Amino acid sequence: MIIRSKAPLRLGLAGGGTDVAPFSELYGGAILNATISMYAYATIQPRNDGRILLNAMDKKEVYDLDSTPQLTIDGHLDLHKGVYNRIIRDFVHKHLSFELSTYVDAPPGSGLGTSSTLVVAILGAFAEWLNIPLGDYDLAHLAYEIERNELGMAGGKQDQYAATFGGVNFMEFFKEDKVIVNPLRIREKYLDELAHNLILYHTETSRLSSKIIEQQTRNVLAKNEKSLEAMHKLKEQALLMKEAILMGELDKIGEILDFGWRFKKNLAEGVSNEFIDEIYETAMHNGATGGKISGAGGGGFIFFYCPGNNRSKVIESLKRFGGQTKRYEFTSKGLSTWTL
């Protein structure tokens, strides 16, 4: 028997950072994101030899372990171990023997929500294998608890819900981990035009998002005026983006992205740097009307809105920075699981 799952990565189009506590707890957050045709995959093959084999194929890491009710969190494939530990504790109450293989279409630190999406994929595979009845909200919340609370990895809430639900969603974040996912019904031609005009560019650099997020958290707790203003402006950006996309006012997208980028850089040190700023300004000088770095910042993917026929010119102008433009499509489906 083979159990498989896949969950889509996402582009955070607006409101990024407002899903991170304590801002979301104190003021409420809002984000607009969309899943794309890049995925995290998980495969489980049951065994009966009392062993657990963890294989992260993209990272070329393999660990052969004794099957025990709880695996030690030691910095080696902790996401895999964290999901297993929670599954055993909450649902199975006995150790299991299996091989778990995973792969992600984007590298860690890329800003597309890779870690959280991988947790969702692994959790989905276990739920499929063990017939655990988890609804979308239950699964996304459980993935959040595993990554943020049990493994202590800094970050927000949007990625787990994007990977689970899929599609274009306007998400609202409230006190006590309450999340409401509002799927947006967008005309197909608007989505096609959005995908055509949005260039996804990988800088060939990565960053440790937790450091930036921890700084952002400290700024909120200290009531840093500049950082708090930026957070409220990003929340406003999410509302502006939702209205523009629903109404097909796509010419406003670049301007809204640029509006958010100017404030996002004020959230914490490290969101941008000279290299990223130079990439951004080059794209703007060659026809882009706005853009933003994906995720917390500091490296990874940047995307730019290039209306009209400016796409090719912008792509050509970015070649000198040594990165790569990644092709993608928007997707409507979230987590998928199946058994062979």
Q: Which residues are catalytic?
A: 159
Burial class from Cβ neighbours inside 10 Å (0-12, 13-18, 19+) for residue 322 reads exposed
| Separation of alpha carbons 155 and 53, rounded Å | 28
Largest CA distance in the chain: 61
**Of 246, 247, 237, 296, whose CA–CA distance to 272 is shortest?**
296
Beta-carbon-side half-sphere exposure of residue 47 (alpha carbons within 13 Å): 18
User: Do the beta carbons of residue 283 and residue 276 sit within 8 Å?
Assistant: no
Q: Are 169 and 33 in contact (CB under 8 A)?
A: yes
- CA 222 centroid distance within chain: 27
Report angle CA 118, 31, 28 to the nearest 5 degrees: 110
Q: How far is CA 131 from CA 82, 125, 179, in A?
A: 19, 10, 25
